Amino acid sequence: SKRCYTTFKYNKLNDKDIEEFKSILNNEETLLIRDKDDLVSFNSDWMKKYKGNSQLLLKPRNTEQVSSILRYCNERKLALVPQGGNTGLVGGSVPYDDEIILSMSLMNKINDFDPVTGVVTCEAGVILQQLEDYLEPLGYTVPFDLGAKGSCQLGGNISTNAGGIRLLRYGSLHGNVLGLEAVLANGTVLNLNSTLRKDNTGYDLKQLFIGSEGTLGVITKVSLITPPKPTSVNVALLACDSFSSVKKLLIQAKTKLGDILSAFEFMDRGCIDLVLRHQPLQEPFSEKPKFYILLETSGFNETHDQEKLNEFLEYIMEQGLTVDGTVATDSKNQSTIWKFRETITESLGKEGAVYKYDLSLPIDQFYELVEVMRLRLGSKANVVGFGHVGDANLHLNISTPNQKYSKEMINLIEPFVYEYTSKHNGSISAEHGIGLMKKDHLHYSKTSSSIQLMKLLKNSMDPNHILNPNKVLPF
């Protein structure tokens, strides 16, 4: 057993605990999963990199049940892991050892939508795509979007402070979440479910739960501000032969497209190669330049948007910032272009073991690190770079044909990548979080006094450390 939580001691589940959970869940047997085979997928993460050994999964239907479960676990010193869609990429959503899995999947009601303010209120287990589908006929859209939208949940998105491809346009969840309800470790229900855009009444407590990866409380409800859904969308795939052109292109996109710019995503040639290996897509251009930008505009006036985009395209071609390009105005061709970007993660998974690094870096180091890693690893691995270059967020991905994760490979990459990032004042987690993967590396991006204050908060909000032990903070 991996039971090496040195500081905190937990009890083993017994029959009396099971009876108590049954009674909390109104004796609905299907809300408790105990069968080993049925637990396999919940005990393993999306990448199949992290494995837990949980013997019990609970599926509460409402906040009261979450509160009773937590109160009981706190008294009995039973640890648990809140789990949403289990698409997290840092090992935060699966048990470290035999923690109880608290699945939020049945708390999936959309409660209210205000067509004037655009504020939507729903339960935390709502799947991102479900909310998008609900808002579409109302003329609204979700202010963030991720490749995992078909299974990730709002509670998981908020707990990881997920970024994704619309952050450039609509900003982060720290601004778009107006309120939430969270259950604390001792069962207290904290109602922070404001729907107000402005509310300066002391400490903004909801922010503590945005990005705390289930270590401070379980999010049960959320209120989000949603923007009107743009009616005119254009998608372009542009090719560049140098990273310096990519940087100039970004400046021009921001200044010439302004408020209609809705995505500016980066992929290197290695990403295109691997997507072509695993997806039914065609080589996009006759040549194979080094870098690709997926640029999207979204607005409300087709003529105006297209004029603006055409002026921008003419300018960048004149200046030689792009060596080839294609523009899609209909949704079928747009979605084909998006596939080049959105299937990178899935395609990487088909290559073998993938070592993922999600970094914020100054733009001058953004691609330099990919090249440094290629030199460092030589023929031992395939190194690719992609990401949200408009937000200076690089996804450095290193894959090996061997399906098994190897300690030798990790030692070649870490702490080198973290030291490089820290030296350039970047962040070792731009948007995926810390989870289990980076908890011992937190110091590369946080000062010791910040880590002290984080520990103080954790100790006072969850003194028995029942919530997601061994994640985020090194104790």
Give the 3-state secondary structure of residue 289: coil
Nearest approach, Cβ of residue 416 and ligand MLT (Å): 19
Among ligand MLT, ligand FAD, none, residue 88 binds (CB under 5-8 Å by kind): ligand FAD
Secondary structure of 290-319 in the HEC alphabet?
Answer: CEEEEEEEEECCHHHHHHHHHHHHHHHHHC
Minimum gap (Å) between residue 46 Cβ and ligand FAD = 5
**Interaction between residue 438 and ligand MLT (CB under 6 A):** no
- Which residue in 146, 164, 337, 323 sits closest to 249, CA to CA? 323
395 binds, among ligand MLT, ligand FAD, none (CB under 5 to 8 A by kind): ligand MLT
Distance CA 127, CA 157 (A): 10
Say which entry of ligand FAD, ligand MLT, none residue 206 contacts (CB below 5 to 8 A, set by partner kind): none
Provide the 3-class DSSP secondary structure of residue 168: helix
Establish if 345 lies at the interface with ligand MLT (CB under 6 A).
Answer: yes
Phi, psi values for residue 386, rounded to 5°: -150, -175
Return the sign of the alpha-carbon dihedral for residues 156, 203, 392, 413. negative
Q: Does 147 bind ligand MLT (CB under 6 A)?
A: yes
Choose between 177 and 359: whose C-beta lies nearer to ligand MLT.
359
Pairing of strands 32-33, 393-400: unpaired
Answer positive or negative: Cα dihedral of 447, 452, 458, 460.
Answer: negative
Can you give the binding site for ligand FAD, defined by CB under 6 A?
46, 81-89, 92-93, 104, 124, 146-148, 152-153, 155-157, 159-160, 162-164, 213-214, 218-219, 345, 431-432, 435, 468, 471
Spatial strand order in the sheet of 291-299: 324-328, 232-240, 291-299, 261-268, 382-388, 393-400, 353-360
Residue 86 partner contact from ligand MLT, ligand FAD, none using kind-dependent CB cut-offs of 5 to 8 Å: ligand FAD
Could you say whether residue 395 binds ligand MLT (CB under 6 A)? yes
Q: Are 107 and 67 in contact (CB under 8 A)?
A: no
> Among all residues, whose Cβ is closest to ligand FAD?
156
80 vs 327, beta carbon nearer ligand FAD: 80
Task: Report how far residue 383's alpha carbon sits from residue 185's, in angstroms, rounded to the nearest whole number.
Answer: 41
């979080």: which residue's tokens?
433
Least distance (Å) from ligand FAD to the CB of residue 317? 29
What is each CA distance from 256 to 259, 313, 352, 415, 466, in whole angstroms?
9, 10, 41, 40, 51
Q: Per-residue string for binding with ligand MLT, 22-51, x by CB under 6 A?
A: ------------------------------
SS3 annotation, 238-258: EEECCHHHHHHHHHHHHHHHH
Residue 173 interacting partner from ligand FAD, ligand MLT, none (CB closer than 5 to 8 Å by kind):
none
CB of 90 to ligand FAD, least distance (A): 8
Instruction: Provide the minimum distance between the beta carbon of 464 and ligand FAD in the complex, in angstroms, as a whole number.
Output: 17
Task: Return the one option of ligand MLT, ligand FAD, none that residue 213 interacts with (CB less than 5 to 8 A, by type).
Answer: ligand FAD
Query: Which lies closer to ligand MLT via its Cβ, residue 395 or residue 438?
Result: 395
Residue with Cβ nearer ligand MLT (102 or 235): 235
CA atoms within 13 A on the CB side of 114: 11
Whose Cβ is closer to ligand FAD: residue 149's or residue 308's?
A: 149
Binding positions for ligand MLT, rule: CB under 6 A: 147, 345, 356, 358, 395
